[in-house]
Amino acid sequence: MKPINIGGHSAYQNRVLTQLRKYYPNAVNSLSDSSWQILEKFRSLDLSEVDTLMQDRYSVFGPEPRLPSDMLRALLVSVEFKITSYTRFAADLKENPLHAIISGFTVGSAPGVGTFYDFHKRLWMSDHKNLSNALHPPKEKPLKPKGKEQKASPVEKVTVGDLFRRFEESPPSGMAPCARLWDIFHTFFLQASVDQNLISLKELAPAGDGTPVYTAAQERKTRTCDCWKNGIHDCKCDRICHQPDCGIGWDPHRNRFYFGYDLYMLTASDSEKDLPVFPFLGPASRHDSHGFLYNWFSMKQMLPEAVVKKLLLDSAHDAMPFYDYCRTHDITPFIDLNWKCGRPPVYKNDITIGRDGVPLCPKGFPMKQASVEPKKGRIKYRCPKITSKGGAPHCACDAPCSDAKYGRNVHLVLKDNPRLFNDPPRGSAEWKLEYNARTSAERCNKREKIDYKLEDGRYRSLLMWYCRLFSIMMCQHLDAWTLPKTSPLKDLFEQAA
C-alpha cells in the first residue's frame, strides 16, 4: 500500500522525545554533546514531504511499508556514524536504541537488511542496477605516464571538441536513473542551502575536479570462451563483467593502477563549506576533461535554473574548446595552463609568452600590466624597466629595446588566443584570488572519501554507489546548516525531567 505519514514532521519529533525519555531517562548526563548535536541536527531536518514525493514508487496493494522519510533518514544516520554495511547497520539499529530513535523507528521494530535494499531500488529509476551491458570486450587500460604524479593520457577515441558538439545536440543520459535521488537532494538539501545564502544559483562559480573511487582490488569478470584452455591468454573475446560501469584507471597520487570509478564533482567554489552541487560517476579510465563534459551537460539538464558566471578548472581542462564554449556562453574561465598543449614561441616579432600567460620582453623580464581594454578586447602590458627616478621616466635596461618615452608596449588581443590571453590575465592578483578557490573541489572530494568513507562501501552496482554518494552529499549540506547554540530538544528533555 501507499505510505501515509500521519502527523508529519511533528510526529517524528514527538516520537524522538518520547523514546528518549523512556530509554535514556538520564540522557542529559549520559549522552555526549556530540550526540545531542546529531539529535538536534536530524530533529530539525523536515523530510515529511519525501513521503509524498515517493508515492509513485509504491503499490496500492500489499502490506503497509516503512515511511520513505524514515528510511532516508536512516541512510543519513548510517553515513553520519560511518557505517558502510547495511547488514551491520541493520544489526546496529537493534543493538543501539539511540540510532533507531534518531532514524525515527520504534525501538525494537527497526527494519531488516532486505528493507534497506528494497528502498534503494525505489530510489533508482531503472530496472537495471547498472547502465552498461555486463557482456562486453576487455576494458582498455590507460598507458602509465612517465613522470610521478602525472595523469594518464585519455583512452577515449573522441576529442573534447567532438564531445562538446555531440552533447550540445544530445546531452548524456547517464544520470536518468538518479532522477529521484536528484529530486530529493535538490529539493530538501541544495535548495535549503540556497535559502540560507550558503550557495547562489543565480551567480554560480563551480569548481570541478575528478577523483578515483576504488571499488575492488581487481576487476571481476568471467570468460565466455575456451581460449584459455587452448593456450590463448590474451584473447579479446567478450567477458561477463560483474561491475560493468567500472574501469581500469591510473591514480596519479598513489602512482598505481586501480579498478573502479572516476567521480567528477562540481562544487560551489564561493561557498565557505565547499558544498557539492552535482556529481557524475564514470569509468576509471575516463579523463577529467571528458568527465567534466558528462557532468556539465547532465547538470544543465537537471539544474536549469543555475546561472554560471565563472568556471574554475585545473590544467587537465586546458583545451581550446573549453575557452570557446565559455566565450560563447558568457562564462569567465579560470583554467590553469598545461604546457603539454603547447604555446606560441613568439608573439608579435620578439615578444614571447611566459608560463603564466604574461608576455616577456626581449630580455626575458615579465612585462607589467598597464590596463585592460574590454571594449577593444585586449590587455596592455608595458616595459618592466621603466622608472621615474630623477624626474622624467626612462628605461633602466642596459640595452633598451625601444626609444619610446615609456618604453616598449604590447597589446595582447584576447581573440588571438583565448587560451593564453585571459581577462583578468593570468598572473594578476585577481586571477590568482579566483583560481585559489578551485581547491574547494578537492576539499569536497576529500570530505566524501576520507571523512565519510565513500570507498569503504563494498558494492557491485552503480545503483548502490549513487545512493551512497547522494546520501553523503546530503550530509555535507546538513552539516553546513546553522544550528541553534543551545539544543531545544535538550531543553524540552530537562523541562520534562
**Secondary structure of the chain: what % helix, strand, coil (to 5)?**
40, 15, 45
Task: Kindly report the length of the chain.
Answer: 497
| Predicted TM-score (pTM) of this structure | 0.88
pLDDT digits (tens, 9 = 90+) for 385-414: 777 665 666 677 777 777 776 777 887 776
What is the Cα–Cα distance from 287 to 334, expressed in whole angstroms?
19
pLDDT digits (tens, 9 = 90+) for 349-366: 677 777 667 888 877 788
Q: What are phi and psi of 127, to 5 degrees?
A: -80, -10
Instruction: Indicate whether 252 pLDDT > 60.
Output: yes
> Which residues contact residue 80 at a Cβ distance below 8 angstroms, ignoring those fewer than 6 apart?
38, 475
pLDDT digits (tens, 9 = 90+) for 130-160: 999 999 888 888 888 887 778 888 888 899 9
Q: Supply the angle between the helices 320-328 and 160-169 in degrees, to the nearest 10.
A: 30
pLDDT digits (tens, 9 = 90+) for 470-485: 999 999 999 999 776 6
In 168-220, beta strands by DSSP E: 206-216
Question: Beta strand 332-335 with 310-313: parallel, antiparallel or unpaired?
Answer: parallel
Q: What are phi and psi of 312, to 5 degrees?
A: -115, 115
pLDDT band at 57 (very low <50, low <70, confident <90, very high): very high
Pick 19 or 391 by higher pLDDT: 19
DSSP 176: G
